[in-house]
Chain A
Amino acid sequence: MAVYFDNAATSYPKPEAVYNAVEYFQRQVGVNPGRGTYQKSREADGIIFDTRSALASLFKISDCSRIVFTSNVTESINLALKGYLIKGSHVITTAMEHNAVWRPLKVLEQGGDITLSLLKCPSGMAFNPEELPELIKKNTALVVINHASNVTGTIMPIEKVGKICRAHNIPLLVDAAQTAGVYPVDVQVMHIDLLAFTGHKALLGPAGTGGLYICEGIDLMPLKEGGTGSESLLEMQPAHLPDRFEAGTLNAPGIAGLGAGVKYILEQGVEKIRQHEIDLTEYALLKLKQFPDIVIYGPQDAPSRTGVISFNFTNIAPEEVTYMFDEVYDIMARSGLHCAPQAHRAIETVELNGTVRISFGVFNTQAEIDFLISALEDLANA
């Protein structure tokens, strides 16, 4: 049996409704939203709107026009950072960020535009939010944090950070790539000012979809200017959201699919999906801990992490493990640095060429974990 354990990279398979929504859009609608005055174009508009409002319900956003579509979380993060930060800003982030956050921040830092401070994540554990106030300076303009690490699954204390940020009047940007769709995200309770998410992971949508929630009162410079199908006579980009940040033809078939994915999550209930993830993770952790030669990185209990587990054999290189998985067992898992060298520095696995990473999704089962464990037993005894 083929087993897919790379849901942290992208979710697979998707709910049937997602495939159907993309196909319906391509075959039956097929036209651009927001550009025309004919019936099909209005149907396209309606589909885009439905996705926007489904996302708003999921993240408890009261005004869905504050959600703008992008092509992935990488673009959302770039828009937030480059659209918000001005020269001379100080930014606080963590030592566990994905390159989607790390690289744009480093580019800004090396260009002399910003300075950076880091919250430490020793051994891949969550940082201590009480260290945050000590890092705040007079010119701290933004706090940027991944909601959960894509390497260790470590869930970061966003709500506590949000409270501290509010008290100091500093906006909080959250990279929710690993949590949106599988962990309850509430922008009000968590005090999130900018929420960046990607459509193709736990939100169960197609690749090429994503978005950014921009809290009222935060003004960003658009990353790109161009046609929006509205206010065409205006020489400047329109001021109103979402059009201000949606120049160019939208990925409408993708957004249609994303809408179906989010509706699936709303119907199932994100709490129920999260429980399924905890159950699988707990079971896998329990089984993995029985191997004397396996090291598991990050928190050792399921509730402190998402369904992502990084581990290594003390005596087999990670790429050899995934090679055997693929060749012999048809198990799809990833080895390496997972685009997050920072996180691998935190767990000291850069020299080991990273880790073996398995990551569960809504359609994985306990039987599949048993199959993985039997494969690991073969490897351990070889």
Chain B
Amino acid sequence: MEALTIYLRKINIYHTSPCFAEAGKIRVKARLSDDISEIMPYLNRVVKNANYNEHAPNLTMFKEFRMITLEPENLILIKALNDTDARQVLDWLKDLINETAERKTEIEPLYASKKRPHPLQLYTWLPRINCKQCGEKSCLAFAALLSVGQQSLDRCLPLFTDDYQEQKTVMIDLVDALGHDISNYIDGGV
């Protein structure tokens, strides 16, 4: 189904380079065919892990481990796996922006910037027993990697036992805000 009014027609990649953030991945710069400033506060509302800065303006968000920084007519995508992956993400983003624009009247724009959970905040809610079952040296190390998307919450096995039910609920909310996929955790747990 073609949308009636297309808000953003095209995202054109104009630069590709190796990613500084992570070896083996790529960083892509692209131009947007249309100015999306007006849609940013709406995206900020619908994308859980989005963070909007009204003054710049810009909006950062995550697609799994990949990070996207949107400006009114430009974007930077980092940590894409390869060219195909980058283009798939940009196709997804274009659809997301167009769908958001189409549903604009139903969405309450959000101008405030949301805070990304700090690694220490994540740490507070972990079991903090340094049992190393997650493969990391300590709960703190695990929290740090979690906050940058390089660990997955379900690797902390103790958290998913009956002893840590309350902590688990809070942690799921926190990683949700970080943009992790939490569908595995809410459908009855791991």
The reply to whether A46 and B14 contact each other, CB–CB distance below 8 Å, is no
A46 touches B88 (CB 8 A): no
- Interchain CB contact under 8 A, A230 and B23: no
Docked CA distance A240–B82 (Å): 8
Contact yes or no, A37 B16, CB < 8 A: yes
Could you tell me the distance between the alpha carbons of A228 and B17 in the complex, rounded to whole angstroms?
A: 14
A193 at the interface (CB under 8 A from B): no
Closest approach, in angstroms, between the C-beta of A317 and any C-beta of chain B? 51
| Cα of A52 to Cα of B16 in the assembled complex, Å | 19
Q: Which residues of B have CB within 8 Å of A45?
A: 13, 16, 83, 87
A49, closest chain B residue (CB): B87
B81 at the A interface (CB under 8 A): yes
Residues on A with C-beta less than 8 A from B23 are 233
> Once bound together, how far apart are the Cα atoms of A46 and B90, in whole Å?
12
Residue of B nearest to A67 (CB): B84
Alpha-carbon distance between A230 and B14 when the two chains are bound, in angstroms: 17
Does B55 count as interface, using CB distance less than 8 angstroms?
no
**A65 contacts across to B, CB distance below 8 A:** 81-82, 84-85, 88
CA–CA, A31 to B81, complex, Å? Answer: 22
Which of chain A's residues 21-43 have a Cβ closer than 8 Å to chain B? Answer: 33-34, 37, 39, 42
Q: How far, in whole Å, are A63 and B85 apart by their CA atoms in the complex?
A: 10
Give the CA-CA distance A92 to B170 in the complex, in Å.
50
Are the C-beta atoms of B24 and A231 separated by less than 8 Å? Answer: yes
Taken residue by residue from 87 to 98, chain B's Cβ proximity to chain A (1 for < 8 Å, 0 otherwise) reads as 110010000000
Cα distance A34–B83 in the bound complex, in angstroms: 7
Distance between Cα atoms of A39 and B13 in the complex (Å): 9
User: Is B15 located at the chain interface by the 8 A CB criterion?
Assistant: yes
Enumerate chain B residues within 8 angstroms of A240, measured Cβ to Cβ. 81-82, 85
Q: Is A230 a contact of B82 with CB atoms below 8 Å?
A: yes
B81 contacts across to A, CB distance below 8 A: 65, 240
Chain A residues closer than 8 Å to B87, beta-carbon distance: 45-46, 49
Which chain A residues border B13 with CB–CB below 8 Å?
Answer: 42, 45-46
Residue with the highest number of chain A CB atoms closer than 10 Å, among B81, B83, B84, B91 = B84
Taking CB as reference atom, which chain B residue is nearest A39? B14
Check: B26 CB closer than 8 A to any chain A CB.
yes
Contact B24 A42 (CB under 8 A): no
The reply to whether B88 and A64 contact each other, CB–CB distance below 8 Å, is: yes
Q: Are A234 and B14 in contact (CB under 8 A)?
A: no
**Which of B9-36 touch A at CB < 8 Å?**
13-17, 23-24, 26
> Chain A, 210-230, contact with B by CB distance < 8 Å: what is the 0/1 string?
000000000000000000111
Cβ A234 vs Cβ B16 within 8 A: no
Asked if A53 CB lies within 8 Å of chain B CBs, one says yes
A257 within 8 A of B: no
**In the bound complex, how far is the Cα of B23 from the Cα of A34, in angstroms?**
17
A42 and B16 contact, CB distance less than 8 A: yes
Find chain A residues with CB under 8 A from B85 CB.
65, 240
* Known A-B contacts A231-B24, A233-B23, A238-B24; A49 and B14 likewise in contact (beta carbons under 8 Å): no
Tell me the nearest residue of chain B to A34, going by C-beta: B83
Interface residues of A (CB under 8 A from B): 33-34, 37, 39, 42, 45-46, 49, 52-53, 63-65, 228-231, 233-234, 238, 240-243
B residues sitting closer than 8 Å to A (CB atoms) are 13-17, 23-24, 26, 81-85, 87-88, 91
Of all A-B residue pairs in the complex, the 8 with the closest CB atoms, nearest first, are A49-B87, A240-B81, A231-B24, A65-B84, A230-B82, A243-B82, A45-B83, A42-B13
